[in-house]
Structure 1
Amino acid sequence: MTSMQHSGLTVDITVAQRKVNVAFSVPHGEVLALVGPNGSGKTTTLMALAGWLMPDVGKAKLDGTVLFDCPDPTRKPHKWLPAHQRGIGYLSQDHHLFPHLSAVDNIMYGMDRADITGRRARRAKAEEWLDRIGLAGYGKRKPHQLSGGQAQRVAIARVLASGPRLVLLDEPLAALDVKAAPAIRNLLTEVLRDLTVILVTHHQDDIVALADEVYHIIPQR
């Protein structure tokens, strides 16, 4: 645990309808892998943290900021921070790039949260990210002009360029072919350094390469 007070993430949630009950913590700058069978609540947990699903009961705190506090399922939450105010980046197996935007414009999208203002400054930062993810010179290409691995690289850059305090990875390599996955895994190992991350994956290679700790979700009956 870092010496920074209240640093990292603490989570304790229950979603009765989906039979989800999880409680864990992630120190600042570490990667926690959530593992368990399909339907055990991995993606449900990520959705609650992202602000897309309200748990019946639960609380989550990130670096001292309460994301939500829901002590009573029959009443409104004591605290519910809207998704866009949480400083959370979400990356799934589908890159979800805007098809009408170029790679550089996709990365620029969302930089407001990182306090990068002005188109020139944003473009410069986006170009830096393109270089960092190994796609320098690809800035003008649209998503349909990129391979699956290249599009996922741009998606990674877009998430991280927004300056997230927490990164949620939901099977980020599942849609890639076996040749592209190792390179993206190596890229994630590099760019996620010193960030607080939750990783959902079924692949042992992802856990070995990326995770500091593993939390096993046991399905509720």
Structure 2
Amino acid sequence: MWVLTSQFSRNLTSHSSLLSYLPDVKVGKTTDTGKFWDPHFDIHFCYKPNMKWSVLFVLGVLSWGNTLATMVPKEATFYQLDCPKEGTLQYFMLKRSGQAMMVDNTYKVMEQNITIHSNGSIIFHSLKVEFEGTHLCVMNHPDNSIHGHEVKLRVRPLPPTDLWGAVYESMFVTGLIAALVIAFIFALGCFVYKKQWRPRPEDEKPVMSGYENPAMNPSDDGESGSTNM
């Protein structure tokens, strides 16, 4: 916010002539306090940041994050799921299938109690991750028509009790799988190298040395090794 301060004794806001002249004022210099000062009129233009809006913005962001976190109930907590207020609840169906839970009764599902009230409130005494999904509220409307309304429920699972143990176990399993893959690739390379084609010794032609010339060897009859003419 830009705030105009002056040492004039007159109220600037009540004089349109001075306010109309202000756009033509040239700034002389900037002081150490961050104010823009005109030496001719001794008018200071100060910028004061609106801290109130900054604080409200930060608080709004934090409250929105907390709201998002509380919108999804946590596992193993008490939770009330409300059906639409468009009539009288007749019965409730968990995940739109299975048993029809009548009003003013308590049912045990997966070892957890669920109470159905006639005002459309479904009480989960202790949430389970398996309860997450789309459920059905069957309502009796004022015109005596019966309609089913879908209600969705999300559940945040609890972190494992031994979090670091689970992390180490996951890392160990990942490292073990990587080691097995590397060992398999190494063994496969050795197998291919061992089974690759190589010429057998009997298939190879003898290598003749330059010092073993047959013409220089003595013949079988004992004659000299000179060639016969």
TM band (smaller chain): under 0.3
Larger radius of gyration: 2
Q: What TM-score, normalized to structure 1?
A: 0.23
Higher relative contact order (CA 8 A, sep 6+): 1
